């Protein structure tokens, strides 16, 4: 375990030692998680995952593909139509025994 002293600057800035930045692959602008712990503050690299925004067509695809029973499928068809979309135009698989959309 490496322990090095840093100083808290104006506005709470802390300079992390270069050896630790290299070890954890941190460059300028990298995000950190700061967590309060009984013994002090834990700083660790933050993982940022891009968030997908679902279009109505993508939502319809999820609804139709997640239907397991014929009753689920009929409900999904109604939900897709409520989105203003034609279920027949959405690429999906129907559960066994489900009627056409």
Residue 64 has pLDDT above 70, yes or no: yes
What is the rounded average pLDDT for all residues in the chain?
Answer: 90
What pLDDT, on the 0 to 100 scale, is given for residue 52?
Answer: 86
User: Encoding tokens for residue 4?
Assistant: 């090095």
Return the bridge partners of 78, or none: none
pLDDT band for position 74 (cuts 50, 70, 90)? very high
- Per residue in 3-35, pLDDT (tens digit) is 888 899 999 999 898 988 898 889 999 999 999
Q: Is 35 in contact with 24 (CB distance < 8 Å)?
A: no
Residue 101 has pLDDT above 80, yes or no: no
Which residues make Cβ contacts (< 8 Å) with residue 66, sequence separation at least 6? Answer: 72, 76
End-to-end CA distance of the chain: 62
Write the CB contacts of 1 (distance below 8 Å, at least 6 apart in sequence): none
- What pLDDT sits at residue 81? 97
**What is the phi/psi pair of residue 41, to 5°?**
-110, 130
The pLDDT score that the predictor gives to residue 59 is 95
């Amino acid at each position: 375990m490496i322990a090095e002293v840093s100083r808290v600057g104006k506005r709470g800035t802390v300079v992390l030692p270069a050896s630790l930045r290299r070890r954890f692959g941190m460059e300028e602008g990298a995000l950190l998680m700061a967590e309060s712990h009984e013994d002090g503050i834990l700083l660790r690299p933050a993982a940022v995952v891009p968030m997908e925004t679902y279009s109505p067509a993508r939502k319809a695809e999820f609804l139709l593909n997640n239907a397991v029973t014929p009753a689920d499928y009929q409900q999904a068809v109604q939900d897709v139509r409520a989105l203003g979309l034609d279920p027949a135009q959405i690429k999906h698989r129907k559960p066994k025994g489900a009627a056409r959309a």
